[in-house]
């Protein structure tokens, strides 16, 4: 390795399917020979294996899934010293606990990326405690990356983090090799895609409420849901109990989401919160029409390029009205989706994300030497 190569320790307490692990995969790959990366993560699929395929990365599969252990802290301290790590970069709330302790004990500068801020369901006491926790963590962090302008605002207004510490670097995705073009029509039924972990954040309950309303109105719509999670089997039973089989298909996990996107017309997001959702960006790059909950991340993307329609969180009626409008106005709707690939190319490229992130690494290293 030459002197200009930045030595990084990435930390993530997730390596299952999801936007956070995929972001880390894309970032590490795009940074290429500029970095020598060590990725501390759980020993779980698919990303523990996918990270191993990166020529610039060494995988350290020693973290439990979304849990904290002092054993991992002491192991990583040894690695930081032995490998002369210059930057610790954590991804997500759970990983932030590791990075700040490691930074404090090793005197290595820390950068933290949130990937979504959520305090909406917290009671007043829990919210106050969490804000104090993040403010204390922020004091041990050189820079915080917000993945959207909306997330930056939430970090300042909801968590009280000092704005000068926050740098906005939006997520990037690969552009499509063959995006949809506006042809002024859709096949029947309208093919709607949703990506879901079947957890609280992704809000699968509203997907089923939308499917039930589609059935009630007899709309020619079929929703395909890709993703896994502990509640997947519960929702499969609901599909049968509610006789929703003609309207919704729970596909399960997939390692080829782009192929399914290319067979879809609309991407539907019902998330309660987001940072900068990769699935929405990928759908946009393929030319799908977006129908999304009006939350941070989703809203940021559609403000950058009007490639779809927003609805207020839990507003099932408006979400279904949007689907009905797409069916009744195929030419206008097709034009909306066709705007997406150009927006991705101009605002959300992986190369731009990697360039900005590497520049931040160099800035933090330089300032830490002063």
Runs of H (alpha helix) within the chain: 19-31, 47-52, 70-83, 93-106, 124-139, 149-157, 204-217, 232-241, 257-262, 278-285, 298-304, 316-328, 330-338, 340-347, 350-368
Residue 275 to residue 298: CA distance in whole angstroms: 8
Place of tokens 């926790």: 133
- Phi then psi dihedrals of residue 293, to 5 deg: -65, 145
Instruction: Determine whether 342 is exposed, middle or buried from the number of CB atoms within 10 Å of its CB (0-12, 13-18, 19+).
Output: middle
Strand order in 87-91's β-sheet? 57-60, 35-40, 6-11, 87-91, 110-113, 143-146, 166-168
Distance of CA 201 to the CA centre of its chain: 11
Banded model confidence at residue 73, pLDDT cuts 50, 70, 90 = very high
CB contact set of 278 (below 8 Å; sequence gap of 6+): 19, 22, 23, 171, 173
Q: Which residues pair with 192 in a beta bridge?
A: 223, 266
Q: Give me the domains of the chain, ranges plus CATH numbers.
A: 6-172+349-368 (3.40.50.2000), 190-347 (3.40.50.2000)
Per-residue pLDDT averaged across 329-335, rounded?
94
**Alpha-carbon torsion (313, 303, 286, 309), positive or negative:** positive
Among 38-47, 88-97, 173-182, 259-268, the minimum mean pLDDT is found in: 173-182
142, two tokens: 């050189």
- Calculate mean pLDDT across residues 59-67: 91
Structural tokens at position 128:
């106050």
d(CA 306, CA 187): 23
pLDDT in tens, 292-329: 999 999 999 999 878 999 999 999 999 999 999 999 99
Q: Is the pLDDT of residue 125 over 90?
A: no
Confidence of residue 1 (pLDDT cuts 50, 70, 90): very low
pTM summary value: 0.89
Is residue 272 within 8 Å of 118, Cβ to Cβ? yes
pLDDT value, residue 3? 54
Q: Contact 179/267 with Cβ under 8 angstroms?
A: no
Residue 134 pLDDT more than 90? no
Instruction: Give me 152's structure tokens.
Output: 């930056």
């Amino acid at each position: 390795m030459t002197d200009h190569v930045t030595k990084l320790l990435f930390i993530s307490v997730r390596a299952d399917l999801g936007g956070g692990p995929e972001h880390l995969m894309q970032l590490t790959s795009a940074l290429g020979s500029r970095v020598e990366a060590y990725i501390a993560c759980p020993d779980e699929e698919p990303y523990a294996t996918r990270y191993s395929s990166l020529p610039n990365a060494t995988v350290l599969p020693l973290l439990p899934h979304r849990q904290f252990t002092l054993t991992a802290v002491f192991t990583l301290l040894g690695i930081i010293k032995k490998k002369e790590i210059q930057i610790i970069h954590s991804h997500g709330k759970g990983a932030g606990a590791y990075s700040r302790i490691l930074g404090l004990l090793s005197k290595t500068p820390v950068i933290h990326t949130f990937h979504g801020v959520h305090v909406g369901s917290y009671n007043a006491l829990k919210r106050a405690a969490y804000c104090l926790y993040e403010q204390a963590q922020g004091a041990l962090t050189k820079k915080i990356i917000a993945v959207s302008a909306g997330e930056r605002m939430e970090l300042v207004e909801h968590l009280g983090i000092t704005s000068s510490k926050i740098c906005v670097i939006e997520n990037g995705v690969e552009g499509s090799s063959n995006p949809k073009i506006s042809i002024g029509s859709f096949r029947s039924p309208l093919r709607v895609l949703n990506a879901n972990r079947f957890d609280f954040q992704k809000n699968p309950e509203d997907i089923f409420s939308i499917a039930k309303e589609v059935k009630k109105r007899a709309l020619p719509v079929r929703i395909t849901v890709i993703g896994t999670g502990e509640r997947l089997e519960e929702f499969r039973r609901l599909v049968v109990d509610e006789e929703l089989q003609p309207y919704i298909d729970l596909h399960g996990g997939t390692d080829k989401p782009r192929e399914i996107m290319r067979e879809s017309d609309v991407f539907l997001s019902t998330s309660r919160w987001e940072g900068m959702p990769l699935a929405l960006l990928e759908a946009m790059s393929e030319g799908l029409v977006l129908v999304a909950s009006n939350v941070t991340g989703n809203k940021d993307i559609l403000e950058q390029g009007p490639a779809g329609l927003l609805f207020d969180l839990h507003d099932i009626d408006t979400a279904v009205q949007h689907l009905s409008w797409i069916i009744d106005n195929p030419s206008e709707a097709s034009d909306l989706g066709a705007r997406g690939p150009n927006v991705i190319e101009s605002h959300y490229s992986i190369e731009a994300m990697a360039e900005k992130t590497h520049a931040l690494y160099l800035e933090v290293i330089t300032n830490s030497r002063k």
